[in-house]
Amino acid sequence: MGRQPGWRRENQTGLADQWVPYAALGTVIFVSCFTLGILGRGDVQIAGPPMAVAIGYMGFAILDRQLVLGLLALAMAAVVVAVLALDPGHPYSVQSFVTGTGTFLAGLALRRAERPGGVTA
């Protein structure tokens, strides 16, 4: 049948009506990461931005009602706590590796959960 008009695709995914909470949450994540990274000192500067991202991912998980995103957010928060407790030599590398790997695996899980109609389970 061909492609559907854009507004129909948006209505199927839910983006047409509810974009404001996502935009607001993204803005809050950006501002908090920037502020904690610039103004924070010591542990706050190391752990603040990744913890803000983890809390933001939990917010996205609640908005989307996605367990996979919630688990990713918890894993990211656990890594931040572990980095503070263990004090590795390269905390940013550890946090980036876990965040990148977790996001990749969450994307695979969400892609696998898609139904033929394009709606996630």
**Where are the chain's structural domains?**
7-113
Buried b (16+ CB within 10 A) or exposed e, 11-29: eeeeeeeeeeeeeebeeeb
Tens of pLDDT along the chain (121 residues) come to 455 544 455 555 555 567 888 899 999 999 999 998 888 788 888 888 899 999 999 999 998 888 888 999 999 999 999 988 888 888 888 888 888 998 898 888 888 877 565 555 4
